[in-house]
Amino acid sequence: DTGVSQDPRHKITKRGQNVTFRCDPISEHNRLYWYRQTLGQGPEFLTYFQNEAQLEKSRLLSDRFSAERPKGSFSTLEIQRTEQGDSAMYLCASRAIGRRRDRGSGANVLTFGAGSRLTVL
Amino acid sequence: SQQGEEDPQALSIQEGENATMNCSYKTSINNLQWYRQNSGRGLVHLILIRSNEREKHSGRLRVTLDTSKKSSSLLITASRAADTASYFCATDALGTYKYIFGTGTRLKVLA
């Protein structure tokens, strides 16, 4: 297991179609995050999971967005009825949980995948 | 906006010079991290500084943290063309496990 994998790397779709992205985190990492990044901006938090539980969801995540992590391993992010404004890079990241949040820098570090770039025509 | 602010937004320097970028954030934090992103790629972790630390070094990187001003700076010494990338700070606020990223500084190092 060499890192966080995301699939597909690129997706071009027509407005109104549904798209799904998959993220496979580092196997021993039990926290998984989704971010959205548009050109020239920093990553914007969308949601995160601890194991299979979705613990927080940003207001950016409209009803058209849903994320799951059914077995606490891989995660999917689905966008329904895509709009041109959904065009962005969707980044997945994972991290381990330390026994204490500040014990050792490794447990607090996010490992990112290469991202899934969505273009909505 | 949920994002912190970074400045400058863009920085262009000659190889061998030092590059300094700054980050401001809004809430009390557990730690602050800096990440690097090459064009079109995912982010890579560079360095983490805890809220009770004021300065940290890693190779050519030096990070400072001023929690009273809610700000941090990243210094890259003796820059190289390969340092050309975007740099982002990220904070995790007390009581949460989510990380909020800044708007980024786009660094260009000219050979």
Chain B residue nearest residue A32, CA to CA = B98
Gap between the Cα atoms of A2 and A24, Å rounded: 11
Closest CA to A109 of B102, B72, B33: B33
What's the mean pLDDT in B85-90?
96
* SS3 state at A99: coil
Task: Tell whether omega for the bond before A70 is within 30 degrees of 0, i.e. cis.
Answer: no
pLDDT given at position A71? 87
Contact B97 A31 (CB under 8 A): yes
Q: Are B81 and B109 in contact (CB under 8 A)?
A: yes
Torsion angle of the four alpha carbons B28, B33, B36, B41, in this order, in degrees rounded to the nearest 10: -80
pLDDT given at position A102? 47
Contact A115 B99 (CB under 8 A): no
Residue B62 pLDDT more than 80?
yes
Average pLDDT of the residues of chain A: 90
Residues 6+ apart with CB under 8 A from A102: A108, B30, B31, B50, B51
